[in-house]
A = this chain, B = another copy of it.
Amino acid sequence: MIGLGLSRTPPPPYYAVIFTSQRTPGDAGYGEAADRMAELAAKQPGYLGVESVRDASGLGITVSYWKDEASIKAWKLNLEHTAIREQGRKQWYEAFEVRIAKVERAYNFKAL
| Residues of chain A at the chain B interface (Cβ within 8 Å) | 2-7, 9, 12, 16, 18, 20-22, 24, 51-57, 59-61, 63, 89, 93-111
Of B6, B22, B52, B101, which contacts A97 at CB under 8 A?
Answer: B6
Asked, given contacts A93-B111, A102-B102, whether A5 binds B18 with beta carbons under 8 Å apart, the answer is: no
Q: Could you tell me if B99 and A103 are in contact, using CB atoms closer than 8 angstroms?
A: yes
Interface SS of A by simple majority:
strand
Residues of B within 8 A of A60 (CB): 53
The closest CB in chain B to the CB of A60 belongs to: B53
A-B contact pairs, 21 of them (CB 8 A): A3-B22, A3-B95, A4-B22, A4-B57, A5-B20, A6-B22, A6-B96, A24-B111, A53-B53, A53-B55, A53-B59, A54-B55, A55-B55, A61-B63, A63-B63, A93-B109, A96-B109, A99-B106, A100-B105, A100-B106, A101-B103
